Chain A
Amino acid sequence: MPAGEAFTPDQRRSIDKAVRAAQEASGYAFSVYVGVVHGEPRAFARGLHGRLSDPDNSVLVLVDPGGRALEIVTGAQVRRNLDDAEAALVALSMQQSFAAGDLAGGIASGVYQLGDHAHRPISLHTDPHA
């Protein structure tokens, strides 16, 4: 992989589209970081997640292509709809794509899946934002 751009404009658009779709489907904020990890991936991912503007309502997806590490961090609120087993399922499917060399496709489909899982059922008798 040469230095410089990680994705083509098309790939970047497809990931952006997936992030927007996931945010619309779930109502939570999604952030995807693709790059080098300093130190232990899980701790690094949680550090990044903690620096988001609203961590409790955010999902952070970290991909380190060189270190071959994937981390999905879900905020406390998100976790009520997107539990760790579901996140692990998505991680597994992303892992398959990455191992096959499809970085952008794996990220996009993973984010779509996370958005689907985190989808909040519409409650008709309570105010979900109360």
Chain B
Amino acid sequence: MRSRTTIRVLAVLGPVLAVVAAATPAMAETPATWPEPDPMSTLDALLIFGGIPVGLAVTIALLVMAPSVAKGPRYRPGLSWWATPEWFGESAIEGERRPALAAGTGAAGGATAMTEVAVTQPATSEGGAGARW
């Protein structure tokens, strides 16, 4: 019984000792022939181990965002819209208000429809069409 315990202990310790004994080269100093590097300043260390990763991250982020920045803001239906109103062609902001037309009652034709286009054409002055999306 006793010899059996000894064998077990040896079976466990043997390989461990063998591995540790074989690993002595790993505990060696760096070879004396290697040049001794200058000590690194904190600033250098920060630049190399902080600056380069951050720079890489910024570069990759810019590369990802560049196409959408170049294309400009994209209109997404359903999101709210805050851009300042724009006119192309003649603007009606400075124009004189013409009471007959601006009153907006009765005499106008045209069509307005929710979710689809509709047409009406009464025999009146102005016309046109409307749509929603």
Contacts and interface: CB of A to CB of B under 8 A. Distances in A.
B5 interface: no
Interface residues of A, number: 70
Contacts of A83: 121, 127
B72 A11 contact: yes
Given A46-B126, A79-B127, A55 B101 contact: yes
A41 interface: yes
B128 A50 contact: no
Given A5-B83, A52-B92, A88-B111, A79 B126 contact: yes
A16 B88 contact: yes
A72 B108 contact: no
B75 A102 contact: yes
B25 interface: no
B81 A1 contact: yes
Interface residues of B, number: 50
A104 to B, nearest CB: 8
A111 to B, nearest CB: 8
Given A12-B88, A65-B77, 7 more contacts: A19-B88, A42-B110, A45-B130, A46-B102, A74-B126, A95-B133, A101-B74
A51 B97 contact: yes
A59 B127 CA distance: 9
Given A2-B82, A55-B101, A84-B129, A101 B75 contact: yes
Contacts of A64: 81
